[in-house]
Structure 1
Amino acid sequence: MTTPIYVRMKQSIRIPVKKEIRLYDVAKVTGTLLKKQTIENMILHRIKAEDKNIIVIDSYSIVDQIVSRFPEREVEILGPNQCVVHIERKKKKPPFFVVLFIWLLLFIGAAMAIMNFHYDVAMESVQQKLHYMLTGEEEKHPLWIQVPYSLGLGIGMILFFNHWFSKKFNEEPNPMEVEVFKYQEDLDHYVAIHENKVEQKDEDR
């Protein structure tokens, strides 16, 4: 009875620019009586200029190479059938004025959104009525309500997004990180289906 080689593929990875993608980059290998280092160093793909920044490594190419070298062994693929490789090329830091412009644009946009929301729900009128209910006096600008409310709004947003600049308050992902993760997962799934170079080569034969 032949002993199987177990290969657990990664769903998505990011690697710096290099000439070759080897098996250890996209998967983990285990099994008994295994020449692990030899298998892990198998070259799966040589990076070319036309590859751009995304490469899809299919499990078929892994099985094909292992079986060709070790025909007496069985190969079991665990996890996803493709690994989407994102090649991270060196990026230039954006100019300071571009960062400042984007920051001001987002700040003004967020401020306008909050102010328009408050205008739509008549927040000022609500706060005036709340002040009258609690004190029995009419006040056009009940600052003792408006100031804590404004501070609480900012603190609430910080706690909601679980970030203060680069610092996180706990290990839980914030809603933005969850949405970015879902987007990246959908993107990787799309790329794995529509840009699978191994399947395209098979169809061309």
Structure 2
Amino acid sequence: MQNDMIYLRLRQKIRVHPGSRLLIENIAQIIGDDKICMNIQKIPIHQITKEDKNLIVIDVMQVIHVIQSKLLLEVQVVGPAQTIVEVQYPKKKLAPVYFVLIWFLLFIGAALAIMNFHEDVSMREVHQQIYKIVTGIDNPKPLLLQIPYSFGLGIGMVLFFNHLFKKRFNEEPSPLEVEMFNYQQDLDQYVIVHENEENGNRKP
């Protein structure tokens, strides 16, 4: 009787196409005897169907059960206990008219937010006071300050978000990317907990 050991580490998240057949090598990294690892990697673990929708959680206990049903092995788990499988269905292309409408609404919303903020903090009066302090002239429309300020506001936002269209200025993630990453982590954790609760409820 052969009693070998392998080390198994589940991938945190993978993306697959509809109808894919998941093998253990798709969701996990395995270290051990080369021949044993090659056999384990080709073991099917799940078949994607329409009933799965777009998110599937595969638990490490399910993987160990499948492995030990084929081979007598000791499995040492390292890393996360679940893998989230995201099924990527073809996305519908957005019609140009909807794209223009959404872009226009976002543009108007952002412009109104900036103008309301400037009105709340009396930015025009601040510029007038700064212009009077520097030049000694009382000017109700200090364009010498307002025009550079407007350009600086746009440039500052581009630098803050570290993107100009698809161009990235450096490797540092932008605050928006960090917030999106944190949101995705929380979402993944919710999916894992929710899926485990549903699996528990299905038990007889």
Taking only aligned residues, the RMSD between alpha carbons, in angstroms, comes to 1.8
Distance, in Å, in 2 between the alignment partners of 1:201 and 1:38 is: 31
C-alpha contact (below 8 Å) 2:21/2:48 kept by paired residues? yes
Distance, in Å, in 1 between the alignment partners of 2:69 and 2:37 is: 16
Once the two structures are superposed, the pairs formed by residues 27-176 of structure 1 within 5 Å of their partners are 27-71=28-72, 73-176=73-176
User: Does 5-14 or 122-131 show the bigger shift?
Assistant: 5-14
Amino acid at match of 1:154: G
Distance, in Å, in 2 between the alignment partners of 1:86 and 1:67 is: 26
Distance, in Å, in 1 between the alignment partners of 2:128 and 2:144 is: 11
Amino acid at match of 1:62: V
C-alpha displacement of 1:32 = 3.1
User: Does 10-19 or 53-62 show the bigger shift?
Assistant: 10-19
Any gaps of 5 or more consecutive residues in structure 2? none
Distance 1:75 1:146, change over 3 A: same
User: Does 17-26 or 31-40 show the bigger shift?
Assistant: 31-40
Amino acid at match of 2:25: Y
In the alignment, what sits opposite 2:199? 200
User: Does 114-123 or 22-31 show the bigger shift?
Assistant: 22-31
Amino acid at match of 1:39: I
Q: Could you tell me the TM-score, scaled by structure 2's length?
A: 0.93
In the alignment, what sits opposite 2:190? 190
**CA-to-partner distance for each residue in 1:159-197, whole Å, 9 max, x for gaps?**
000110011111111111111111111111111111249
Distance, in Å, in 2 between the alignment partners of 1:125 and 1:84 is: 54
C-alpha displacement of 1:94 = 0.7
Report the secondary structure of 1:35's partner residue.
Answer: helix
Any gaps of 5 or more consecutive residues in structure 1? none
